[in-house]
Structure 1
Amino acid sequence: MSEIKVPEMGESIVEGTISKWHVKAGDSVNVGDVLAELETDKVNIEISAEQAGFIEQLMRAEGETVAVGETIGLIGESNGNLPMSPSSDPAAAEAPVAPAGSDPVSPAAAAPVAPAAPTPAPAAAAAPAPVADAANGGVFYATPAARKLARERGIDLAQVQANDPLGRIRQEDIQAHAAGAVKAPAAPSVPAVPAAAAAVPAADPGKPVERRKMSRRRITIAKRLVEAQQTAAMLTTFNEVDMTAIMEVRKRRKDAFKEKHEVNLGFMSFFTKAVIGALKAYPLLNAEIQGDEILVKQFYDIGIAVSAKEGLVVPVVRDADRLSFAQIEKQIIDLAGKARANTLALNDLQGGTFTITNGGVFGSLLSTPILNAPQVGILGMHKIQVRPVAIDNERMENRPMMYIALSYDHRIVDGAEAVRFLVTVKELLEDPESLLLEG
């Protein structure tokens, strides 16, 4: 028998959420078969079988948070036939996920779980029988930590409401029950004002609403964006770029470029090269703050923001200053494809020095990008829009124009330096030939 464990996922990731089980109790598996998908703060990880056999027990359910190294299931050895275990029994197969408090040592130890599975949920909640004491050898629907806390506080587990989808009582349920019990005596002293209380909700309770649980990645994105605004002295400066020259180059070169390199000549390679040229001229935009020191990076790993189903991710184009236009375009396409397929690796997301985000693909005309901490600079691209532009004192022409925005950390980047950086980006883009020299 082998354990299904949560694998190591990088030093910055200590837990994840089981987003999907691909197997159920009793299923036969081979070495390398995908057992489960784990959602982390950054990427999704597949957990594979390290031993052939059958799924003897799944100890955690979909939607539960699990720690690195935690055992979440058991694989039993198979002799080529269907395993004669609680999992093979049709009644047991209806309850593939065993309670966390059950003994995972062997199929025999797990056997008491099978008859408890078909018990209707309302009856289990009403009767204290399913929550048995360890001394009596009963079936456990409470975690060890929850039982210990209940004993310490003198709480009857049968009276505790479980929020776990499998009906297991956890430590936080005990704490919530205890808090409710403490507050209960104060309730009669509160004046009854049902009319005023009913007026508090902003929405009509009779109208339809949908309540969604935030994904782990969305929660992480929310925290990081708030932290970036709270920890950095973030300011934004704006400029506009005449895209005429770049569009003419693309028009003249796009067919030959695609035939030679098998990739389209897009705008991102031009902007990446222009950013690198500006970073070389103003290196503090390619730095970060570490304590009371400034770490100026002398390499150019450019993050490209990509909108994926689970939220915005920023895969990194490594050593972009050493890449050709075609190599940059190919890497961006490859990374964007991985992001949308949820197959990015941790290495694809770590270590960027500066970020470029393109809201123009969604039609944004102007926006203020938020820093991708610990970076101190991010460039925002926007929609190309034809507008009348004064060429000189006498002439006006319609030109394809784009607003660009630079958000920067004012703690180490002065306003004058930020403005000059953005002007340099503008000048390089308006003279594409210069990108071969400066970018």
Structure 2
Amino acid sequence: MKAVYIAGGAIAVIAFLAVGLFIAQGPQPEIIVPAEKLWAIGPLNITNTLLTSWIVLALIVLIAWLCTRSITLMPGSAQNFIEAVFGFLLGQVEEIAGEKNGRKFFMVIATIFIWVIMNNWFGLFPFFNAVGKTEDVNHHIFETIAEQDEAGTPFEDRDKQGAWLMEDSGGMTVAMPRTTAVEFEVEAGDTAGIATDRYIIFLAETFTDFEPHAAEGAEHGAPAKEDVEAAIAALEANPKAPKVHLADASHGEGEAHAGGHHAIPSEALHASVESIEFPGKKLGLVIPFFRGTFSDVNNTLAMGIIAFLCIEFWGFQALGPGYLKKFFNLNGIMSFVGILELLSEFIRVISFCFRLFGNIFAGEVLVLMLTFLMPFLFVDVIYGLELFVGFIQASVFALLTLVFAVGAVEHHGEEEHHDGHEGGEADAHHTPAHQSGAVQAH
């Protein structure tokens, strides 16, 4: 009987993996670092990370309203949950900063923690990086070559453009499992004409069984005329393959056409390509509507700047203009120390920015790669790890902001101590234990 259970479990695991590989396997990921633009409202670009942040903000407001719309002395489960969360956060902040400063810092620190952790966890939903709109990669390649032709200079660097072979959805689409991925490449030093010839051969190799005869020469030099002509013939012979339309003789090279772009020259054909039509599958990518907010370095940089401004504000509030003394001190070696202190204040912004960005972006890439390589297996473990990482990153960002803020106001407390202001009740953050902890953390 034990052997039957073992065999049954093994069959279930194999079936589970088979379903993942043949049904739920994602397309080969195309890793794009900048946030993708969805729409534009005047000069404002609406990116997928910006859209996600707006949705998370609305979700936080909705949860807060639902949990606090009927506050009573005998709280229900929702109110109990909110009070427990904020009571815990307040306790942690006061333990580090003392009661007086803790209550001063609490609103900012709690906001940072809630905002970061909600965005990090929201980014783990399965529809992230999967549902979006189609980007016409052919149009992008065509325009890139046309712009290089207008500039009249060869490509300075090797240029690669990845794409998926996908049906034309005409708008909203989903990244389909097991989608074929291809990559078009232009060599450094290629002119627009050579790049056009490479693109024609690339299309023929991708959509038909065409193979260039002069493959070795095409790798490092211009494609042969015979290969380009044969590639166009192979595309014409296949009804589902792309069709290359050459410009009419009446059109001069570089003139604008109906597609809104300029014809691009072919060096081998001594003619210009006006447009390329895709009657079947097209070269495209899915620009996701939703992407993790902090996988965009612009958002993490904004958070770092906000934390920096809050810390400096609290420092000036506690010490006034005297706060600048720790940066500008003409007392021997202390002047050098002051310069290092000033540099460290600005370096913190970069540290805040790239610590959060690196962890969140790397997590997204890891989830995408494992969804492609081995769905339903390792990716489940990674999701659990990402939940933990999301919490840790929110905690680290909030606690570092708190510790640096304590360091700024503790400097004021130390001056008061040395000036003899020891009378009266000391605040909790003036105790030796808190001073020592602040100095070490700083």
TM class by shorter chain equals: under 0.3
Task: Pick the structure with more helix per residue.
Answer: 2
Task: Pick the structure with more strand per residue.
Answer: 1
- Higher relative contact order by CA 8 Å / sep ≥ 6: 1 or 2? 2
Please, what TM-score do these two structures have when normalized by structure 2?
A: 0.22
Please, what TM-score do these two structures have when normalized by structure 1?
A: 0.22
